[in-house]
């Protein structure tokens, strides 16, 4: 999911940086004081999640967890993911500094989309619906991220069909795993601390 | 904050341990070495999985593409050392694996030149002009310098193989727990700064 340096063309990189900078600026303005510890913890979760690996087919994928981060943080997902990705880039050489903008946008935008689509249902009364939506949330966030990575690569000039196939096939297992993980976490949080879900 | 938030990461990790997925880095590596007249490359993801059917491009130091090829099932790709005039500045190998992964490996010129035979000729010519045959013992008159050198090279290649493998292993930068914990520390610190500025605003 992390696009390495030297792959994307300059316009794609610049667009990524501009979009990410705008979104991070907006969310920092919106962020409330008491929200900060939660953002920090979920940022660490994202930071560590990428170390957990699932070998699939010719590629190799890892957990992303942007679905649950989106549902729990809303707009604050942007700074959380930006910080985590920056540190992954510096410490582990995942992705890179020039691609930071694009990578952040690819993973944080789906998180926010999931937040707007599913947050209400996940907070809702009905337990079964909430868990189903949580599964969809984990699944959808990874799918959308995959689609955005594919879009970034296609704009740079890679053949469409090859990329599209890879995105779907390579990420199908991780989508399912993340769906289940997200459902577990949301189920747990609903029982233990339902107020976390109110963003 | 009296908060049970710390339970989230703990909970996630418990699940991860249960489904038994090994924790490793996410990155591709390429390693190359010169042997005989060829260059051998191995490509793998940092969890040790080989990159299959990944594209490897070879550039000279001017950035001109000399050749390209695909890795096989073992993640290997080998090719003959290109013509001498192109390798004087070394070679750059670029691996492009699926989904935006990319890695580079640079082979320095001296590694290449010593195995293409440039040195062989340099040595061979003056020696012959000085007629050193009389010094060589009569029992081995048929073995000339070139043969000796190629024998030495072959043996060396054999002997160096395990060392090469070790070097390759040590190049796989493993992620240490220190880095992970350090990273989490940084994150807490960065958000501490954010919290400071947010609190000043009020």
**Confidence category of residue A98, pLDDT binned at 50, 70, 90:** confident
Lowest-pLDDT choice from A147-156, B7-16, B43-52, B129-138? B129-138
Average pLDDT score, chain A: 85
Each residue of A108-134: pLDDT tens digit? 999 999 999 988 888 888 888 899 999
Q: Is the pTM of this model over 0.90?
A: no
- Strand order of the β-sheet with B76-80 is B28-35, B38-45, B76-80
Q: Is A51 in contact with B180 (CB distance < 8 Å)?
A: yes
For residue B194, the chain A residues in CB contact (below 8 A) are 28, 31, 36, 39, 79
Of B7, B9, B96, the CB nearest to A44: B9
Dihedral sign computed on CA atoms, order A136, A137, A138, A139: positive
Of A39, A166, A188, the CB nearest to B11: A188
Q: Which of B27-31, B51-55, B181-185 is predicted most confidently?
A: B181-185
Closest chain A residue to B18 measured between Cα atoms? Answer: A181
Asked if A60's CB is within 8 angstroms of B180's CB, the reply is: no
Of A31, A43, A92, the CB nearest to B187: A43
Each residue of B161-192: pLDDT tens digit? 778 777 776 666 566 778 888 888 888 898 88
Testing the interface with A: which of B12, B20, B23 to mutate, by most A Cβ within 10 A? B12
Burial class for B24, CB neighbours closer than 10 Å (0-12, 13-18, 19+): buried
Confidence (pLDDT) at A151 = 85
Q: Does the ipTM surpass 0.85?
A: no
DSSP run (H or E) holding B18: helix B7-19
Residue extents of the structural domains in chain B? 28-177, 178-202
Q: Other CB atoms closer than 10 Å to residue A80's CB: what's the count? A: 31
Is A189 a residue whose pLDDT tops 70?
Answer: yes
Fold of B28-177: Immunoglobulin-like (2.60.40)
Asked if B4's CB is within 8 angstroms of A193's CB, the reply is: yes
Instruction: From B92, B142, B140, select the one nearest B112 (Cα to Cα).
Output: B92
Each residue of B87-141: pLDDT tens digit? 677 788 888 776 667 788 888 777 776 655 544 444 444 444 444 555 555 555 5
For domain A10-197, the CATH architecture is Orthogonal Bundle (1.10)
Confidence (pLDDT) at B116 = 53
Confidence (pLDDT) at B67 = 82
Confidence (pLDDT) at B8 = 67
């Amino acid at each position: 999911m992390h696009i390495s340096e030297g792959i994307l063309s300059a316009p794609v990189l610049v667009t990524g940086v501009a979009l990410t900078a705008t979104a991070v600026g907006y969310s920092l303005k919106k962020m409330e004081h008491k929200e900060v510890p939660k953002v920090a913890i979920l940022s660490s979760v994202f930071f560590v999640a990428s170390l957990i690996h699932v070998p699939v087919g010719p590629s190799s994928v890892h957990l992303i967890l942007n679905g649950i981060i989106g549902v729990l943080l809303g707009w604050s997902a942007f700074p959380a993911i930006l910080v985590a990705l920056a540190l992954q880039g510096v410490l582990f050489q995942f992705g890179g500094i020039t691609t930071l903008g694009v990578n952040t946008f690819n993973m944080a935008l789906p998180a926010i989309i999931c937040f707007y689509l599913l947050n209400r249902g996940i907070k809702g009364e009905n337990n079964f619906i909430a868990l189903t939506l949580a599964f969809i949330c984990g699944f959808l966030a990874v799918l959308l991220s995959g689609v955005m990575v594919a879009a970034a690569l296609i704009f740079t000039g890679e053949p469409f069909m090859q990329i599209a196939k890879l995105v779907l096939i390579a990420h199908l297992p991780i989508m399912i795993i993340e769906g289940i993980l997200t459902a577990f976490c949301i189920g747990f949080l609903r029982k233990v601390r339902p107020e976390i879900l109110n963003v | 904050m009296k908060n049970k938030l710390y339970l989230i990461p703990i909970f996630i990790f418990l699940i991860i341990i249960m489904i038994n997925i090994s924790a490793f880095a996410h990155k591709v590596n390429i390693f190359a070495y010169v042997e005989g007249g060829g260059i051998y490359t191995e490509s793998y993801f940092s969890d040790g999985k080989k990159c299959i059917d990944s594209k490897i491009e070879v550039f000279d130091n001017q950035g001109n593409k000399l050749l390209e090829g695909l890795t096989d099932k073992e993640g290997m790709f080998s090719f003959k050392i290109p013509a001498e005039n192109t390798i004087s500045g070394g070679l750059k190998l670029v691996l492009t694996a699926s989904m935006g992964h990319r890695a580079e490996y640079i082979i320095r010129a001296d590694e290449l030149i010593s195995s293409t035979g440039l040195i062989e000729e340099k040595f061979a010519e003056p020696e012959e002009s000085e007629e050193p045959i009389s010094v060589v013992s009569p029992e081995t008159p048929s073995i000339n310098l070139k043969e000796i050198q190629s024998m030495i090279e072959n043996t060396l290649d054999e002997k160096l193989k395990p060392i090469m493998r070790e070097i390759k292993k040590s190049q796989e930068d493993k992620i240490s727990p220190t880095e992970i914990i350090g990273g989490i520390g940084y994150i807490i610190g960065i958000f501490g700064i954010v919290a400071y500025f947010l609190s000043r605003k009020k």
